[in-house]
Amino acid sequence: MTLWTFLAIFFGGAFLLEAYKTHRKSKLKAGQSSELAAVKTELDALKAENQAMKARIQTLEAIVTDGRFDLDQEFRKLG
């Protein structure tokens, strides 16, 4: 094997190895970005659900603290 053949094989292999590494990194990033998008979507859904729950709790608190609620409770006890 001559020096030039050895160098060609060596640098060709190094080039292919770097190309493979770059390919793997880009494939890994693509997977992470899709996973990140899924997490963001889930987070947005949970935020919306949280807001709905807060509104529901405020409504329930308004009902319970309303003076008429106590009166309704008394009527139910009597009736």
Q: Based on C-alpha coordinates, what's the Rg of the chain? A: 33
CA-CA distance, 12 to 15, in Å (whole number)? 5
Q: What is the pLDDT of residue 44?
A: 95
The number of distinct structural domains making up the chain is: 1
Mention every residue, 6+ apart, whose C-beta is less than 8 A from residue 69: 63
Average pLDDT over residues 51-78: 83
Q: Which range marks the domain in which residue 8 is found? A: 3-78
Please say whether the beta carbons of 68 and 74 come within 8 A: no
Query: CA distances (Å), 44 to each of 13, 30, 34, 52, 72, in order?
Result: 47, 21, 15, 12, 39
Look up the pTM and report it: 0.51
pLDDT digits (tens, 9 = 90+) for 8-57: 999 899 999 999 998 888 888 777 788 888 899 999 999 999 999 999 99
Q: What is the pLDDT of residue 69?
A: 65
